[in-house]
Amino acid sequence: MAKIMHAQTVLTMEDIEALKQKTGESSTKDALAKAVSHFLECEYTQVEDMWAKKLEKVVKRKKKEEEEL
């Protein structure tokens, strides 16, 4: 069974609204939970140069698409 801990932080209203919009959630609690879950599962959070890794993946996909044409 997982242990549960209550956590608090201070965020601007603009950040909270942007997070709700991006996650598609209407409540702050659900938006934060979804964002944290995504962060923990995302393959890019452990990569030092996240943008280089993402760009590399996009380039590979584009090359594959071009080869199929």
pLDDT at site 43:
74
Tell me the pTM: 0.61
Cα 50–chain centre separation: 12
Residue 45 above 80 pLDDT? no
The number of folded domains in the chain is: 1
Instruction: At 66, list the tokens.
Output: 């071009």
Q: Is there a contact between 45 and 51 (Cβ–Cβ < 8 Å)?
A: no
| pLDDT at position 8 over 80 | yes
pLDDT, average across residues 19-26: 97
Contact 11, 3 (CB under 8 A): no
Structural domain harbouring 47: 13-68
Q: Is 6 within the bounds of a domain? A: no
Neighbours of 31 (CB within 10 A): 20
Average pLDDT over the chain, rounded to whole?
A: 88
In a domain, residue 4? The reply is: no
Q: Is residue 54 part of a domain?
A: yes
Radius of gyration of the chain, Cα coordinates, nearest whole angstrom: 17
Alpha-carbon distance of 38 to 46, in angstroms, equals: 13
